Amino acid sequence: MEQVKVVLQDREIPKKWYNIMADLPTPMKPPLHPGTGQPVTPNDLAAIFPMNIIEHETSNKRWIKIPDEVLQKYLLWRPSPLYRAYNFEKLLNCPVKIYYKNEGVSPAGSHKPNAAIPMAYYNKVAGTKRITTETGAGQWGSALSMACQMFGLICRVYMVKISYEQKPYRRMMMNTWGAECIPSPSNLTQAGRNVLAEHPDSPGSLGIAISEAIEDCVTSKDTKYSLGSVLNHVLLYQSIIGLEAQKQMQKLGIYPDVVMGCCGGGSNFAGIASPFVCDKIHGKDVKIVGAEPSSCPSMTKGPFAYDFGDLAKTTPLLPMYTLGHDYVPAPIHAGGLRYHGMAPIVSHMVREKLVEPRAYDQLKTFDAGVKWARSEGFIPAPETNHVLAAVVDEAMRAKEEGKEKVILFNWSGHGLVDLAAYDAYLAGKLQAYELPDHEVERALNAIKDFPKP
Ligand SMILES: Cc1ncc(COP(=O)(O)O)c(C=O)c1O
């Protein structure tokens, strides 16, 4: 028998999160207040986040202690298993060993609860009663609904309309965990009403849903807002993935040549990658690859610029690769990757050549996902299929180069609530969207008057 997985004991769970901000070789550009053009202060963020989370957002401390209450919830499914994908390796027939972290074992089915649990916890401690948020595919919304229920908070989720329609089971999960789920754009907010007035059939986007959730937060009592990706504190909480993976790989006595993840706002990718990026900064020879959709290719086609995180321009200006805050991506099934920007930390790592971005179209990603399901059994989320396409690509490169490689990647979630997407793919109904060049021009136009990083 070959060893298929490495499982850590409860007592071996990492007790601190790792903050890559402490090790970046060059300083990041600060987020700017859109009114003053000056770096945002903690007080600027206090209307939407509690101070304990703002401290993490702005922290340069390398290690941050995970509260016992958070660890206790993490133990419901963490440490997540590290698997060797022997069957997929056999199918690919390339000189690669493939290891992956299975984040699909969480109650919500993805990595998202890693951040949702601490966010609900810190809000509870700070006296928040109600949280608003947005969700793309519904993974984040369901994770936060569960976390809010665990800590006794009310939760309202604005869900991108196209996903709300494509994925009714995610809404049902949110409702089961006691949250309210609203299709966005909605007529509950001015931001939503503005979009509906111009585009009554808008499929929605994360940018629009964020505007709605923030507006709801700042116009309601005892309410804070929660973002499921992009910001520094979210990436910090996700570092538990990479920290566990390092322990597990150490137990096998193996170090990866390539570390990979799919990128929507950047949180699961940074989660697995940041401890390895730290090693790379300190001289280790490791390649780090982020996979994004070719229909929403912020890192591979967008400019690095200051831009808003949302359509209604309510967030600070963030230094990031962006397709413009008004970009509405094609309605691909990987709803969690339909975001116009990329986390400032991930964007910075790309600029510093610590991370290599690659883009894959929807058909390639589903081809890889179906191959995976038919060999390894687990059915991946459409978002996760992007990293699988990158793994296939990397394995083929290894074959061409005649080199043996160890690949480690993050299997960000299962696709059991996304079967309609597989149905459409198997029936030949999915399209391979590419971002047309005129869209890049439009993106540049949307941000041309903003400060330059
Ligand atoms: C399964 C899964 N993977 C990946 C993502 C992308 O998000 P992020 O880039 O923040 O990890 C999502 C987002 O909803 C998701 O649901």
Spell out the residues 6+ positions from residue 116 whose beta carbon is closer than 8 angstroms to its own: 108, 140, 143, 144, 146, 147, 226, 228
Task: Give Cβ neighbours of residue 438 (< 8 Å, ≥ 6 apart).
Answer: none
pLDDT in the model for residue 437: 85
| Distance from C-alpha of 361 to C-alpha of 379, rounded to nearest angstrom | 19
User: Which of the residues in the chain have pLDDT under 70?
Assistant: none
Q: How far from the centroid of its chain's Cα atoms is residue 142's Cα?
A: 14
Number of domains in the chain: 2
- Co-location of 45 and 192 in the same domain: yes
Indicate whether 148 and 198 sit together in one domain: yes
Query: Which of 197, 226, 255 finishes a domain?
Result: 226
**Pocket of ligand 1 contains residue 298 by CB under 6 Å:** no
Same structural domain for residues 277 and 328?
yes
The per-residue DSSP string of 361-422 comes to -HHHHHHHHHHHHHHH-PPBPTTHHHHHHHHHHHHHHHHHHT--EEEEEEE-BB-TT-HHHH
pLDDT at 336: 84
Per-residue pLDDT, 311: 87
What per-residue confidence (pLDDT) applies to 253? 98
| pLDDT for position 443 | 82
Both tokens assigned to 134: 């947005």
pLDDT of residue 334: 83
Q: Are the beta carbons of 196 and 202 closer than 8 angstroms?
A: yes
pLDDT for 137: 85
User: 327 is in which domain, residue-wise?
Assistant: 77-109+242-446
Q: Is 106 in the pocket of ligand 1 (CB under 6 A)?
A: no
**What Rg value do the Cα atoms of the chain yield, rounded?**
20
Cβ atoms 238, 74 nearer than 8 A: no
- The burial class, CB within 10 Å (0-12 / 13-18 / 19+), for 35 is exposed
H or E element at residue 203? none
Q: Examine the domain organization and report whether 168 and 250 are in the same domain.
A: no
* Ligand 1 touching residue 102 (CB < 6 A): no
Rounded-to-integer distance, Cα 61 and Cα 230, Å: 19
Shared domain for 328 and 373, answered yes or no, is yes
> 202 alpha carbon to ligand 1 midpoint, in Å?
22
Residues 81, 148 within the same domain: no
104 and 128 co-located in one domain: no
The predicted structure's pLDDT at residue 330? 83
CATH of the domain at 305: 3.40.50.1100
Q: Specify if 88 maps to a domain.
A: yes
From the CB of 318, is ligand 1 less than 6 Å away? no
The residue whose CA has the least distance to atom 1 of ligand 1 is 413
pLDDT at 207: 87
Residue from 173, 240, 268, 345 whose mutation best tests the ligand 1 pocket (most atoms within 8 A of CB): 268
Whole-number Å distance between alpha carbons of 372 and 385 = 9
**pLDDT for the residue 166:** 81
How many angstroms is it from 388 CA to the middle of ligand 1?
14
What is the pTM assigned to this prediction?
0.97
